[in-house]
Amino acid sequence: MTPVVLIAEELAPSALDVLAHDYDVRHVDGTDRAALLAGVVEADALIVRSATQVDAEVLAAGSTLRVVARAGVGLDNVDVPAATARGVLVVNAPTSNIVSAAEQAIALLLTVARHTATASATLKAGRWQRSRYVGVEVQGKTVGVVGLGRIGVLFAQRMASFGTRLIAYDPYIQPARAAQLGVRLVGLEELLRESDFISVHLPRTPETVGLIGEKELALVKPGVRIVNAARGGLIDEAALAAALRDGRVAGAGIDVFVTEPTTESPLFDFDTVVVTPHLGASTAEAQDKAGLSVARSVKLALDGEFVPDAVNVQAGGVVDEDVRPLLALAEKLGKVFTAVAGGVAATVTVEVRGEIVSHDVGVLRLAATKGLFTAVVDERVTYVNAPQLAVDRGVEVELVVSDEPADHHNLVTVRGALPDGRAVSVAGTLTVHGVREIAKLTGVDGFDLDLNADGVLLFFRYSDRPGIVGTIGTLLGEAGVNIAAMQVARREAGGEALMTLTVDSSVDAELLSTVAAAVGSERGSAVDLRLNGS
C-alpha cells in the first residue's frame, strides 16, 4: 500500500511536489482535534507546523505512524518522549528559519530605536508629530546577546556591521569561540548592567523560562531597549511591563508570547513597544526551506533510510557521508547475528576496523542494534526505539574501533555471547562494483564467506560429508524454494562445515527444521535481508 502522508497545516508548494508522486498526500486542519485524530489513524507520516498539538493521544491514534515532522525549528507542540516510546521518528528543520529569525530581531531592534511603527501609525491617522519621535542611534552602543546559538550568532554578526560593541551571555560556549565572533562573554548580570540593547536568542526550556524577570530587570541600564524574537516566556511579560512603566526600560520589540495566539498582553499598552504575531519564521524563503527540509526527511524515513535531522535518534551528531553506506550493512549484520544466535545475546560488541574509523562511526552501533531486535520483538524497530529495546532486555551493545589493517578495506563485525556462554560472530564489508557499493557477508563464527548480504539467507551447520548439498537442494526444491546462491565453508575435510544459501522466497520454521534434521544440523537459521523483509 502507498504510504499516507498527512499534512495538518499549510506547507510550501515545493515541499508538496517532493511528496506528491510517491505518497498518498492527505490534508487535515490540525487545529480541529476530532479531524486530526480521525485523519492520523491511517497515516504513516504527519507533518505539522506550530499550531497542531501532537501529544500522546494523537500518537496513540496514529498506530501506523513512522515519522512526525515539524516544518520549523521548535518542537514545543510535539511530545517527543511519547513519540520516542512508540518508536516514532521526530524531525524538524533546525536551520530553515535562522536567517529570517535573526533579521526579525534586527528589524524589531531598529524599529524600537527609531519609533518607526508608532510614527507610521500616527501619521496615517493624520497627525504629523515629528518632534515627538526622537530615537537613538545604534552605532557605538553596547548590544547584549543572550544566547549564542545559530540565530544568536547570525544576529551578532549582522549587528557588528552597525559599529556596535557586542557582549553575550551563554554558559555553553567557549570564550575562544566568542572571541572569533568578535563578542565578549560576560555573566548575565553584567550583560544586563552594560547593555543599551538586549536581544534574547534562547530555546524555551525549564531552565530558560522566566530567565529575565523582575529581579533581572531591576539590574538593567536605564533606557535599555529589549528584543525577544526567540520564544515566549523567556522574559516575564508582567515584569517587563512594570519596567517600561517606571522608565527603566525605554522600549521593547516582542515577537513571541507566553501564550499564543494572543490578543491581550500588558505590553500592548505602551507606544514604545512594538509587537508582532510570531513572525520570526514568516518569510517566503524560510517557509520554503522548512517545507523542503521536512519533506525530504519524511521521504528518507518512509524509505527506511537514516534521517540526519531526527531529534530523537541517538546518532551522536551528523553522519559523515563516508560512513552512511555502512549503516545498512551494520543493520543487516545485526539481523544475521540474531538469526544465527537463535536468540538475544547478553552482550554484543560492534567492531569497526579500517580507514573508516578516522570518522565518527558511533552510529553503526545504533544501526546494528536496530538489526539485532528486528525479528525479536512484535513492535516495529526503528533507530528511535532500538536503544531502549536493548536496555529493556538487559543487552549491552558496545562499540570498538581499530585502524589496524583488516582483510578488507573496512570491516564491520558483530560479535556477542549468549546467556549459555555460546559465542557468535558475523562480519561484513562493502565492495565496489562499478558505481555501486554492495554489502557482503564475509564471515560467520570464524567461517570465511563471500556472499551478497541480500535476499533470504539460510544457514546450516553439520559434519562435512558427501551428499549434503544434494539433500538440501532436493528438500528445498520439493517445497518450491529456488536456490539463487550457495557457499560451503569448512576448516578441514570431514570437520564442521557451514552451508549458507540465498533463496528467492521465505522459508517457514517447519521446512527449516526438516532440512536441518535431514543433514544432522542442530538447527537451521533463516534471515530475510530484503528491503521489506523481517
Which of the residues are catalytic?
231, 260, 278
Sequence-separated (6 or more) residues with CB below 8 Å from residue 260: 50, 232, 277, 278
Angle (CA) 417 422 427, round 5°: 60
| Direct distance between the N- and C-terminal alpha carbons of the chain, in angstroms, rounded to an integer | 17
- Amino acid code (one letter) for 494: G
**3-state SS, residue 42:** helix
Nearest to 424 by CA among 446, 402, 408: 446
Q: Which distant-in-sequence residues (6+ apart) come within 8 Å of 510 by Cβ?
A: none
350 touches 400 (CB < 8 A): yes
Locate 255 and state its grid cell.
Answer: 515577537
Which residue in 405, 410, 403 sits closest to 442, CA to CA? 410
Closest listed residue to residue 283, CA positions, set 24, 436, 97: 97
User: Are 277 and 50 contacting, i.e. CB atoms less than 8 angstroms apart?
Assistant: no
Residues 6+ apart with CB under 8 A from 426: 333, 336, 337, 340, 413, 414, 415, 441, 443, 444, 445
